[in-house]
Amino acid sequence: MKAELLKTLTFATAMTLAGTAFAQETATDGATTEEPATDTATDAAPAAPALDMGTDTTTERQPGQTYVDEVFGDWERKCAHNPNGDDPCQIYQLLKDQNDNPVAEISMLRLPDGGQAAAGATVVVPLETLLTQQLTIAVDGGQSRRYEFRFCAQLGCIAQIGFTGAEIASFKAGVVAKATIVPAAAPDQKVELPVSLSGFTAAYDSLVPAN
């Protein structure tokens, strides 16, 4: 289809240029004379077809649809499309075990100034987690804190936790945090999931406090 269209356009151009050419006509005495050729460009050139230039689909987001807005080191800034105003965003990281298998995920948002918690975080772990052992998080091997799981759903078990300003500062100054869970099938074992803090400061500071 594209080849035929190109042929048509090339043919039309050639016919336009042909109007300046001259045809040879044999004279009655055997000599040849040159006369202007009949200008047929107007009659021969077809009208240019209407071309569909396509539509950019990257901006066609549905209300509530999430997308990665920017990447900061090992953190992604994920936003939800809001047709009525600014898109709310959180920072996100997929957590993997020592065999590089995806196990859990953490997302974090900034909270308005003045509250006890400077940031709120959601951690999602597998359904096979032993909930009574809860979730612990420590930065650079420091003192860990324990957090309860709020509920479980089809996607996993969820802990909704708050971080103080001092804890956020430790994330910014740290290299790696460690989230630890206990499998229900092996209650005497622990699964330690590193949380890279590469890019955390830039990612966190890029967030607008939630309303």
Q: What is the pTM of this model?
A: 0.70
What domains does the chain contain, in order, with CATH numbers? Answer: 92-200 (2.60.40.1880)
The mean pLDDT value for 174-202 works out to 97
Q: Tell me what percent of the residues of the chain surpass a pLDDT of 70.
A: 74
Closest by CA to 148, choosing from 67, 137, 97, is: 137
- Residue 211's pLDDT is 75
Identify the H or E element spanning 16: helix 2-18
- Residue 86's pLDDT is 86
For residue 44, is pLDDT > 90? Answer: no
Give 111's pLDDT tier (boundaries 50, 70, 90). very high
For residue 9, is pLDDT > 60? Answer: no
- Residue 49's pLDDT is 76
Cα dihedral 81, 87, 88, 90 in deg (nearest 10): 80
For residue 8, is pLDDT > 60? Answer: no
The mean pLDDT value for 102-116 works out to 96
- Residue 78's pLDDT is 96
Alpha carbons 3 and 14: distance in angstroms, whole number:
16
- Residue 183's pLDDT is 97
For residue 26, is pLDDT > 80? Answer: no
Contact yes or no for 102/110 (Cβ under 8 A): no
Show the DSSP H helices in the chain as ranges.
2-18, 41-44, 165-173, 200-205
Q: Which two tokens stand for residue 164?
A: 């103080």
Residue 39 C-beta-side C-alpha neighbours within 13 Å: 5
